[in-house]
Structure 1
């Protein structure tokens, strides 16, 4: 499923920022390679899912028998089978094997008395051989509809990966997907379509399409400093308030007031396999209130959180996204403005650290954001660390800015 992979990319990108473990980086790179190979539309959208089965057998496309590995890899099969726990009896069903390792690559390389670079070269060669063979198999079915909400999660994933690893190709893919959404899923009045297939967009979008898109475009601004995406998020937020708001409980309906009336017009409050639409919207409004200095956005987010607290206290695991928002209110975020010709490079340097409670903004012009006013210094790139819109003295070195963030 696209939404699983998208969320895992964000998770492991953040985990890498926090720990610098090579395994987490490997997971992100391999996941994005899979997504681009299997689920990327030529126009920049992402397909929804691949079937778990092919030819009526679950996992058949992905599993291996020991004799296949021996035949394909020859003398290299012994160490490969040891690394990935491959046996004649199988580590999966019916004598089949899933490529699954118990040792880290570093530990296995040490055991074999190889360098890690040598092991990676051997793995690259082996995987290339296996991929060529696997491509001859009957492929799993592809669900090629493009959903706005799931694409928004993938867009956020690419932005998170770019910030964590500084790979420009990740930002390029994020921008490609954002342009697809803007062109094919966003109407002139900021109304969204939910679905795109065979060159046509249809079905009025639901709240998760709006809320996750708002978050994704905010994230893309934080990665690119292109005000276009922040303004798009703001336009979607205004449309959502106009057409989804329920004044009775100060939360938001799942369907628009422009949709055909239902017997019961419900709201989605808890998290499920993707973050709940109300909690995602509240987080988006929280961030937009900072960027555009709109207190009423903050008021919406605060009231939504207040009204959901009884549910959080009863069933906390199902409301984790709300609890993340609660942390934002408990520990107000810093605002970090990076302005000047090297703003993008300084942004990437700062994001080598895990900074979940920082509102980044900047670029090489003021862009109409109040936090950027009068902060440009000709010929220099300055970093302003602010709290509640009160800024410390600007610095030029990332190390100095990080030190300011650590000060009480």
Structure 2
């Protein structure tokens, strides 16, 4: 079958050879795009042109808008092609480039976001930045055409000054990087200040922190859960519960197909920005599982499981790795895939069923979003509605589930949002951690099996021959030396996976990656981890990331995971690395503790002291398996589980952890050893004694 003339693209640029879905979206723009690399820099130098750098990602709504308005426009393209060398970067493939130039944009303009637009000298030094530019100047915002024309003229008339300003900016950025490393003595006072900061910004009506827009930031909830556990603080747990409840009730949660959207544009969690990201869903699953562990409220377990239903159904490759994201837009309209009219609901469900569903899920003729409806449970849960209307709750839930399935089948016939099917090591590490934790919490081995598939895929397909971890896989190609986030998150996932399966190879892999992490990323002079390895591409500044924004920083996660790994391996030096990370950035965290919630969690773990729980027994012994389940189900944020099976099945873990030799069964019975600070308490040989010990309230020493 031959393509018709209409189907042959009018333009094709250098991005056509790339693997990134985002770059490929722009491969047929009339703009002569280059990927980041030497070819573009050489052209910029030889033609003496500034670089137009545009950074975004495939599911970014405003990236799509700017492409349609400007990058598909022949007049804009002509201006760019004549006067600039244009480079496109996928921020998810190259977070090092994004972090570097986003920091400059925020310093220059006081704000950031995507698309990120930066003008560079031919040697990559920034001199102008912004985010979204409309094609024409309007509403006080300079347009793309005017901006490009003015900078072209300045480059022609006053190039030396522009180059000099670029040099000055790089000097300032280097000085700023040293300020990030601001050491201090981490203590309880900072932990309490962090809690009080969250308390002061907590939305008592709808949960979450601050006003619109509202982001899930599950690591805030992880910190508050641990804080409530350590200090027996009911208000901290109240903030967690209210936020978990309201996020689920709102439209940010997909009540038809499950999973959470990126963030809410309003304070009620009603209207989401409809893109779905793997990392949000991974961390939210962990937050809901922790909520279940702390309270035994089954609704939190069900919500976590619904996230996995979505991810395993829609976001998993045939090989078992996890895709990155789904777009907010379909058919060029944000949210079109997800919203319904009341008439559609009636058409799918019939009149009687429609009334019941619409009354529960806030479906009205006028709609709650641009004339259509986002299904939500604001302000009442199904249990409250059942109570108010004197309905049988189980019968109501059954009817609503039948309706949901019909609406899901109907929605599946629509044009789906595009899927970014690249596999990112860091984000997969998060989902591996979430699935492994679910396997333990819910005692469902199928979740560990899904995590095993992903972990094995990364180990087999996303490392170089020399063992160096890589950051991205797509279409048969693994590329880009992994960043600190990739190492930190994958170590976390592998640790959780070891605790879920008892397979020593995952602990061995975590130890192997820990050694690479320290060798490649550690700053010997000031402490902390650089974002890129010493073998990575040299950019104008080597940055460190510490802010726990949409995702916790690699440094924070590394401090958290290395402290746990140190307890398991009895490695005092490794614990010192974790302590030094926290110390190195304490001064920075003191400026706004709530911006560093994962670092606070890591610091609290170090103050509290890691527990090491060794369970020794025979695999076939039911009491041994009951002991394992007891620890796996408990909320123990600062404990690590070691499964020490008797005989040949335990040889691999004994070889890896020689200190287990004297922690075998007592009197041929399954035995638990609870150790803290490299000192072990009296061995326990009954499930009841172990249960009492792991559920005992904790207090700081």
Using the size of structure 2 for normalisation, the TM-score is 0.56
Measured in 1, the distance between the counterparts of 2:670 and 2:459 equals: 31
From 611, 618, 634, the counterpart of 1:353: 634
Unaligned 5+ runs, structure 1: none
Q: How far is 1:347 from its partner?
A: 2.4
Measured in 2, the distance between the counterparts of 1:42 and 1:361 equals: 32
**Is the contact between residue 563 and residue 574 of structure 2 (CA under 8 Å) also seen in structure 1?**
yes
**Is the contact between residue 17 and residue 351 of structure 1 (CA under 8 Å) also seen in structure 2?**
no
Q: How far is 1:371 from its partner?
A: 4.7
Measured in 1, the distance between the counterparts of 2:294 and 2:437 equals: 13
From 355, 361, 365, the counterpart of 1:88: 365
Measured in 1, the distance between the counterparts of 2:493 and 2:384 equals: 38
**Is the contact between residue 86 and residue 97 of structure 1 (CA under 8 Å) also seen in structure 2?**
yes
Partner of 1:362: 643
Measured in 1, the distance between the counterparts of 2:572 and 2:681 equals: 23
Q: Deviations over 1:37-64 (max 9, x none)?
A: 2111010111110000111111111111
Is 1:34 equivalent to 2:310 in the alignment? yes
From 415, 424, 429, the counterpart of 1:147: 424
Partner of 1:393: helix, strand, or coil?
coil
Is 1:275 equivalent to 2:552 in the alignment? yes
Matches within 5 A, 1:133-144: 133-144=410-421
Distance 1:285 1:316, change over 3 A: same
Q: Deviations over 1:172-229 (max 9, x none)?
A: 1111111111111134543111000012111111111111111111111122221111
Is 1:11 equivalent to 2:300 in the alignment? no
**Is the contact between residue 610 and residue 638 of structure 2 (CA under 8 Å) also seen in structure 1?**
yes
Partner of 1:387: 676
Matches within 5 A, 1:280-299: 280-299=557-576
From 315, 318, 339, the counterpart of 2:616: 339
Q: How far is 1:407 from its partner?
A: 7.7
Partner of 1:300: 577
Q: How far is 1:264 from its partner?
A: 1.1
Q: Which moved more, 1:386-395 or 1:19-28?
A: 386-395
Tell me the number of residue pairs that the alignment of Structure 1 and Structure 2 aligns: 407
Measured in 1, the distance between the counterparts of 2:389 and 2:633 equals: 32
From 234, 237, 261, the counterpart of 2:514: 237
Unaligned 5+ runs, structure 2: 1-276
Partner of 1:205: 482
Q: How far is 1:379 from its partner?
A: 5.2
Is 1:100 equivalent to 2:389 in the alignment? no
**Is the contact between residue 224 and residue 344 of structure 1 (CA under 8 Å) also seen in structure 2?**
no
**Is the contact between residue 563 and residue 610 of structure 2 (CA under 8 Å) also seen in structure 1?**
no
From 444, 447, 450, the counterpart of 1:170: 447
Measured in 2, the distance between the counterparts of 1:371 and 1:66 equals: 65
Measured in 2, the distance between the counterparts of 1:258 and 1:41 equals: 30
Partner of 1:68: 344
Q: Deviations over 1:105-142 (max 9, x none)?
A: 22223344443332232122111211111111010011
**Is the contact between residue 371 and residue 389 of structure 1 (CA under 8 Å) also seen in structure 2?**
no
**Is the contact between residue 285 and residue 301 of structure 1 (CA under 8 Å) also seen in structure 2?**
yes
**Is the contact between residue 385 and residue 401 of structure 1 (CA under 8 Å) also seen in structure 2?**
no
Partner of 2:41: none
Partner of 1:44: 320
From 363, 376, 383, the counterpart of 2:664: 376
Partner of 1:225: 502
**Is the contact between residue 470 and residue 479 of structure 2 (CA under 8 Å) also seen in structure 1?**
yes
For the aligned residues, what is the CA RMSD? 1.8
Distance 1:244 1:229, change over 3 A: same
Q: How far is 1:285 from its partner?
A: 1.6
Partner of 1:401: 690
Partner of 2:393: 116
Q: Which moved more, 1:9-18 or 1:114-123?
A: 114-123
Partner of 1:127: 404
